[in-house]
Structure 1
Amino acid sequence: MSWTLVEIYRYYFNRSTRRQAYRRRNREQVLEAHLFKWLGLAMMAATLAGGVARAAETPISVAGLRSDLRLAVDTIERNHPDLSHSVSQAQLERATRRIDRQLDHPLTQAQAWSALAQLNPVLADGHLFIGLPDWRKESAQAAAEGKTFFPFEVSLDAQGALRIVSALGGAPTPFAGQRIRQINGQDAGLVVRALLARVHGDTPRSRSALLAKRWWLFYAKVYGSPVAFHIDLANAGRQVIAGSGETPAILREEASFESTYQCDVRKQGAVLTVAAFSWPDKARFFDFTNDCFARIAAAGATRLVIDIRQNGGGDDDMWRDGLLRYIADRPYKHGSGYIKRVLQPRAPGEVAGAIVSGEIETATEPPTDEPLRFKGQVYVLVGPLTYSSAVLFSNVVQDYGFAKVAGVGGAVRTRQSGGVQTLRLPNTGLLLFYPRFVLDRPSGAAKPVYIEPDLSVPDDPLNKHAAVEALLGLKSPPTDTSQ
């Protein structure tokens, strides 16, 4: 039985319960023992949590800050298989000197991240950045403890305009679609630029999409979390809105299988949403996709949209065994040429630290007897948040003609880094992420550099179904860019 402090309080101070406890003295003694044990554990947990929080707020010395910055840069330059994939060494060193000059006084961990993360846009790779430790867990815990965040989910357009999409967590708001002009007296454009200067990702478009998705987090780390926000809206004027204690949409969605994976079989076609290629229980995912394709076959659908706009990657076997087995009709490779840094020798002749290049030799054979193979038109819907293994999936279906790629392009590279390694910086506790290989797309083509869909389908931040409806023929048809 799990008791909260409120329940324990009510148990011992409610009259009728006290009379029952009096009549059952032995039971009371047992419960008292459990009570004090539970309170002791709770106090210990609170002390530990407080210790972690205090450690994050303890100022880090100038020497420690500069040491971590140098360690991060040295690690990147020593271990990256092909730094020129996203940045030149000269660019990296210039940015490092600029940041080092700013580290002239002690900083807390959040402040240290705000300073060191200025490397992230320069590194220009979603797998190469300085990040916050355990931000998902920390944010969920903060929300559970009653702390508040920026009260809206937002979008950013190509011009940097910041607009409200929904209340934080996804609930409707009468301010949806409104452009934000100021936040707490600061010009919204300046705030956007300040936060973008700390976001990781391949291009300005991909970084804008990531910032919009995690606006509440980046804003809190750079500007703090006030109790109320003074927000000036283009059409609704000045509003004073309390900070939100709701769980942000990204945390809510990532925690739910039903939000991450959806199968919607309609009369006009089917929509298979796969928002991640990672899940603790892979068997559940494979059962889900098998059931989805069975439903598609039973309905006789002739169009299928596989929506990976929110898919930031994961494990290749999830798309190989969960998707391509149902749509691939010939052998395929997940890439062509590669270059890797040997961190731990695993093959005969490998030397730690060496750079090795080669070609993917082995092709994957899709099962020839798959009874649920889909033979209709397949569209793979991509966007600026499609990344890592999801890009590899997009490359495969496009290069082998298993599907038409649709959506928004020009945001992420088709030549993807991978095999991400993690280093905890000893003084700040921040995390450095860096790749150990870079993989060419299956065709081996160097261009286009970024994902370019066969069909251009714009995204509507206020209507996530608009792009799907266009592909299913429910709205105006998309533009074919493959001709």
Structure 2
Amino acid sequence: MGTIQESYPADQVQTDLDTLYQRLKTDAFDLFAFTPEADLDNLHQALRAGITRPMTRGQAEERFQRLAAAAHQGHTRVEGVYGAWAAYQKAQARAFPFAVRIRDGRLYVSATLSGDPHLPPGGEIMAIDGVPAVLWLDRARAHVSAETTDLADSILEYDFPMYLWVEVGARSRFKVRVKAANGDTLDADVAARTASEIAAAASRQPPRLDLEHPLRDARILANGVGYLRPGPFYNEAAKTGAEEWDVTAFRRFIDNAFGMFAAKNVHRLIIDLRGNPGGDSLFSDVMVSWIADRPYRFFSSFKIRVSADAIAANQDRILHDAVAAGPISHRFAELYATANLGDVVDFTLPETQPNPSGRFQGTVYALIDRHSYSNAVAVAATLQDYGFAKVLGEATTDMATAYGAMERFTLPATGIVVGFPKAHIVRPNGDTRPKGVTPDIVIPAPLIETPDDAMLQRAAAIAAAGGQGQP
């Protein structure tokens, strides 16, 4: 995989692969919910048979992730490839010089970072090195832990060059065939580029929609509609692990935002959850409590499979990171103390109460997209299911009912860390289907997103018109 790493004997890698599979079967809430056990057994044996010589850590991580990803659960995963990729980039090694957009299983250029002026954004990538793009997507998806193809594709929009590197290793050049928006087919032989070269090329691109600067935003749009982008539901400015769960600054931002909306007599509000990676309800409840008109929970059912690894991970968190543990980990510990290994038990939490100092009295709209993930999806589902807000945008690719509450264990020989979902969490309305949040009013995302933000413009018009789909 292009980096020099410690090597492990083949028998140790095989043993760790066996351990990974056995512990996932014991630890995950239902490892075979989406993939039959026989299929995973066959893949495990095939991957094991392919371990015939010593492997670097990166090679072992890639092989282990193939098995984890085949369960098709977002929280069953080995994330080591990200570290290997970061090291590869830091070494100024070269990679695929395109940012991509994936729509309906087809691969498009969202930004040309190759320096070739003949490959404009919006063109469809038909082939790379003579292999059809649809086959490259299939190969890349095999590395991604995701319940659905749509979720895998939304992740690949961020990580496609990385997974192409995992598949083919270091390349100095790529031959690409692109179908331009006007129908012309263009063939180009482009140089792979280093991370610094790609960053420089990106800085010369036409402006694109940037939902990270500022990361959090509260203002009033031109038509008098309030706008709140809460940003991730954790402390992104944290310098330590403990600070990540310090809600003080987030609470101040949210309280000031709603204070400003009240002072400006705002009666319609858009909460922008697009591109939101999620986080923890410790943060999101601060915001939702300003909107809620009655007590609520972000789930209708929260069941946990009790396992030795789940208990150990929870206890380690309590002992070594008290702030991250918080009251929830102590509730887990109380539950584990009265359960047997292998039990499936109900986990309960008290309802969250509306904000005691007042609530927003107007109409709320939540704006979502394919890159709304994790707790941001839970927030959208809660707002929709309780009727706290009308949901606009494109359907989330991440699940509203999911196998989650991820814990981790470490494999003994290689030290590779494996994540597993200990729980099955059902959205507030009780829908157990593995699907995302479907908006009440669909606003398609453009193929290439520009700073004028067509989705937000449409959402603002809908909000100003009182929630009508055709403002």
The interval holding the TM-score normalised by the smaller chain is: 0.7 to 0.9
Q: Which residue of 1 aligns with 2:341?
A: 353
For 1:425 and 1:259, locate their aligned partners in 2 and report how far apart those are by CA, in whole Å: 39
Tell me whether 1:293 sits opposite 2:258 in the alignment: yes
Instruction: Compute the displacement of 1:319 (Å).
Output: 0.6
Conserved 8 A contact 1:182-1:233: yes
Question: 2:217 is matched with which residue: 262, 283, 293?
Answer: 262
Instruction: Compute the displacement of 1:434 (Å).
Output: 0.2
| Identity of matched residues, % | 24
SS at match of 2:134: helix
Instruction: Compute the displacement of 1:433 (Å).
Output: 0.8
Tell me whether 1:150 sits opposite 2:106 in the alignment: no
SS at match of 1:54: coil
Q: Which residue of 1 aligns with 2:317?
A: none
Matches within 5 A, 1:412-427: 412-427=398-413
SS at match of 2:176: strand
Aligned residues: 416
SS at match of 2:289: helix
For 2:249 and 2:295, locate their aligned partners in 1 and report how far apart those are by CA, in whole Å: 26
Conserved 8 A contact 1:62-1:105: yes
Instruction: Compute the displacement of 1:199 (Å).
Output: 0.9
Question: 2:362 is matched with which residue: 361, 370, 376?
Answer: 376
**In 2 relative to 1, CA 167–332 (structure 1 residues): closer, same or farther, beyond 3 Å?**
same
Letter in 2 for 1:54: I
For 1:248 and 1:139, locate their aligned partners in 2 and report how far apart those are by CA, in whole Å: 16
Higher helix share: 1
Conserved 8 A contact 2:233-2:279: yes
Letter in 1 for 2:283: M
Tell me whether 1:319 sits opposite 2:305 in the alignment: no
For 2:91 and 2:349, locate their aligned partners in 1 and report how far apart those are by CA, in whole Å: 52
Question: 1:466 is matched with which residue: 450, 454, 459?
Answer: 454
SS at match of 1:64: helix
Q: Which residue of 1 aligns with 2:171?
A: 226
For 1:437 and 1:427, locate their aligned partners in 2 and report how far apart those are by CA, in whole Å: 27
Question: 2:439 is matched with which residue: 441, 453, 461?
Answer: 453
Q: Which residue of 2 aligns with 1:7?
A: none
Instruction: Compute the displacement of 1:259 (Å).
Output: 4.4
Instruction: Compute the displacement of 1:66 (Å).
Output: 1.9
Instruction: Compute the displacement of 1:400 (Å).
Output: 0.9
Instruction: Compute the displacement of 1:203 (Å).
Output: 0.6
Instruction: Compute the displacement of 1:194 (Å).
Output: 0.9
Q: Which residue of 2 aligns with 1:161?
A: 106
Q: Which residue of 1 aligns with 2:272?
A: 307
- The range that moved more, 138-147 or 279-288, is 138-147
Instruction: Compute the displacement of 1:397 (Å).
Output: 0.8
> With structure 2 as the length reference, what TM-score do the two structures score?
0.77
Tell me whether 1:201 sits opposite 2:180 in the alignment: no
Q: CA RMSD in A?
A: 3.5
Letter in 1 for 2:333: R
Q: Which residue of 1 aligns with 2:37?
A: 89
**In 2 relative to 1, CA 453–129 (structure 1 residues): closer, same or farther, beyond 3 Å?**
same
SS at match of 2:5: helix
Letter in 1 for 2:220: V
- The range that moved more, 182-191 or 307-316, is 182-191
> With structure 1 as the length reference, what TM-score do the two structures score?
0.76
- The range that moved more, 177-186 or 140-149, is 140-149
**In 2 relative to 1, CA 361–289 (structure 1 residues): closer, same or farther, beyond 3 Å?**
closer
SS at match of 1:276: coil
Q: Which residue of 2 aligns with 1:54?
A: 4
Q: Which residue of 2 aligns with 1:16?
A: none
**In 2 relative to 1, CA 475–377 (structure 1 residues): closer, same or farther, beyond 3 Å?**
closer
Structure label with greater radius of gyration: 1
For 2:214 and 2:167, locate their aligned partners in 1 and report how far apart those are by CA, in whole Å: 30
For 2:50 and 2:394, locate their aligned partners in 1 and report how far apart those are by CA, in whole Å: 37
For 1:105 and 1:478, locate their aligned partners in 2 and report how far apart those are by CA, in whole Å: 65
Conserved 8 A contact 2:268-2:463: no
**In 2 relative to 1, CA 448–146 (structure 1 residues): closer, same or farther, beyond 3 Å?**
closer
**In 2 relative to 1, CA 479–456 (structure 1 residues): closer, same or farther, beyond 3 Å?**
farther
**Unmatched 5+ residue regions in structure 2?**
181-185, 204-210, 236-243, 312-331
Conserved 8 A contact 2:269-2:463: no
For 2:467 and 2:100, locate their aligned partners in 1 and report how far apart those are by CA, in whole Å: 27
For 2:361 and 2:467, locate their aligned partners in 1 and report how far apart those are by CA, in whole Å: 23
Instruction: Compute the displacement of 1:447 (Å).
Output: 4.8
Runs of 4+ in 1 over 6 A off after TM superposition: 474-481
Q: Which residue of 1 aligns with 2:375?
A: 389
Instruction: Compute the displacement of 1:233 (Å).
Output: 2.0
SS at match of 1:192: helix
SS at match of 1:346: helix
**In 2 relative to 1, CA 433–317 (structure 1 residues): closer, same or farther, beyond 3 Å?**
same
**In 2 relative to 1, CA 187–257 (structure 1 residues): closer, same or farther, beyond 3 Å?**
closer
**Unmatched 5+ residue regions in structure 1?**
1-51
Q: Deviations over 1:198-230 (max 9, x none)?
A: 111111100011011111222222222334433
Q: Which residue of 1 aligns with 2:48?
A: 100
Q: Which residue of 1 aligns with 2:320?
A: none
